[in-house]
Amino acid sequence: MEQMFYTVERSQQIVISLLKQYGIRKIITSPGTTNITFVASVQHDSWFELYSSVDERSAAYMACGMAAESGEPVVLTCTGATASRNYVPGLTEAYYRKLPVLAITATQDERRIGHLVPQVIDRSNIQNDIAVCSEHIRASFDKDDEWDATIRANRAIQALWHHGGGPVHMNLQTTYNRDFSVKELPKALKIPRYTFGDKLPAIEGKVGIFLGAHTIFTPQLTELVDKFCTKYGAIVFCDHTSNYQGAFRAMFALIGTQSIHRCNVGTMDLLIHMGEVSGNYAGSISACKKVWRLSSDGELRDKVHKLTAVFEMSDEDFFEQYTHDYDGVIAVTNSWMEQYKTEYNLLYNMIPELPFSNIWMAQHTIGKLPKNSFLHLGILNSLRSWNLFDCHSSIYGSSNTGGFGIDGILSTVLGASLVHPKQLHFCVIGDLAFFYDLNAVANRHVASNIRILMVNNGKGTEFRIYNHPGNAFGEEADEFIAAAGHYGNKSHKLVRHYAEDLGFEYLTASNKEEYLRVMERFINPELTDRPMLFEVFTKSEDESQALYEINHLTPNKEDVIKIKMKEISEKVLSEKVVNSLKKIIK
């Protein structure tokens, strides 16, 4: 008989490798065909301790006794069909005793469920009290499948201990591959979870922070992040929802959105991912070697498929631990920050005269917004446009990036404005989103601290921008994809009458000259006696052209040479200074 080793099925290999890396040895097997790829693989690995039980009911209770007595996790493995159902009593016992029992139920392709295929049953929903975590791990056929299996297997195994732990269910798909020729088990990626008090891993190489939507930073957290950036030479990639206003804030969208011009500002060895969903697509910063996720929820969230560690702790605790031995003065800049500023200023100064559009309005308005005001941005064109430019450090921002739909932004602004009635709340919103949430405008709690900038292009202009798939249909897209022509079809009277009848001060503009003239009233830093609604009419063609031009900024050769010469001179100067100091010390 041909000698057997490990299965060639990649998902099975990933699970087996992670069991070994997490130190899980004990496995109770029950006979079957669907779990052969797993059982035969671990059977030929002497590292594991295997036990046999024909009755799955008994196997589950054996696992309870073994886990309770040894203090170690115990794995169960069974075939498809009703075998898994027999685990329920024992897993229920494990659930209420918080015993670390991992039930690996083998399964065929889940797409066969409901098609009268023998031994195929639906395990997509399990009872509430038989597992603290349940993961379906598909067979792997490409890198994305491997990534998904790796994340799910790590999550499932960690749940055996996480927050008190308990039994876990892993539904592991097989293709019934009979090839067991893999002599050396490929090592899967273990993604450890660190909590407060653990010995944390060392930071090596170039490190940056990517900050998604986040609550407003406290002065203490800002100081800790600034100290961290000073110590490690890091910067913080932000958008207007990040709400970090420290010395190392880098609004990366203008740089990251470039289609032709490339720089290495966004490249690094380690990326620390904080915050929640970000609307800064250009700021994904995927040009990193690995990612650490920092969040008090401790969940494995892997946006760019490079997650290597999770830190379940508060932001303050994380940065405190990594800076506790650093007493240096908090610097305002570092070399990376200087590089970012140089690149940003270069691109900003290259912006041509853009068409009248949301981007043009952002460019000419954001720097003049009153200090200490709040900026709310609608999904998606407004958020993308205004993220290209920075604002005063006293201004904080928000957007409904959680669900990332166009609905509810006006209601969100209304709720926020009621908490701080003396603070101006500016909202930039498109016409579809505005009419979608029109009820909020008529709410009797609307106060004079609300100012709405409504960009009316008569359609979902997002679907008509040059790089959107909907634009390939041309004007045909307007009818059903971009939903053009609704809500008065850019009527200059509809919103005016509605707003004025509700007590709003109504402002309007249809070109740059009108906008700049009226804008001064709109951004008046003093609270007025009425809320304001500033309706601006643009064309989707101009919105698309403005985005194209902002995405294709290309420095001329002279600018590039100046930048390179500046970088070289600074490097040489710093080396000379260092050498001179060494001579003085000697």
User: Which residues have CB under 8 Å from 171's CB, separation 6+?
Assistant: 105, 107, 123, 134, 135, 136, 137
Alpha helices in 335-457 (DSSP H): 335-349, 358-365, 381-386, 409-419, 431-436
How many of the other CB atoms lie within 10 Å of CB of 173?
A: 20
Q: How confident is the model at residue 114 (pLDDT cuts 50, 70, 90)?
A: very high
How many of the other CB atoms lie within 10 Å of CB of 1?
A: 3
For the stretch 88-100, pLDDT in tens is 999 999 999 999 9
**b vs e for 269-287, b when ≥16 Cβ sit within 10 Å of the residue's Cβ?**
ebbbbbbeebbbebbbbee
Top CATH class of 207-333 equals alpha beta
Decide if pLDDT at 501 tops 70.
yes
CATH superfamily for 10-189 is Thiamin diphosphate (ThDP)-binding fold, Pyr/PP domains (3.40.50.970)
pLDDT given at position 333: 60
pLDDT given at position 585: 44
For the stretch 525-558, pLDDT in tens is 999 999 999 999 999 999 999 999 999 998 765 6
SS3 548: helix
* The domain made up of 351-551 is a member of CATH 3.30.1490.20: no
Decide if pLDDT at 519 tops 60.
yes
Element (H, E) at 111: none
Alpha helices in 22-87 (DSSP H): 36-43, 56-70
pLDDT given at position 581: 46
pLDDT > 90: percent of the chain: 88
User: Which residues have CB under 8 Å from 90's CB, separation 6+?
Assistant: 57, 59, 60, 61, 62, 63, 64, 101
Decide if pLDDT at 510 tops 80.
yes
Decide if pLDDT at 577 tops 70.
no
Average pLDDT over residues 304-318: 97
For the stretch 156-177, pLDDT in tens is 999 999 999 999 999 999 999 9
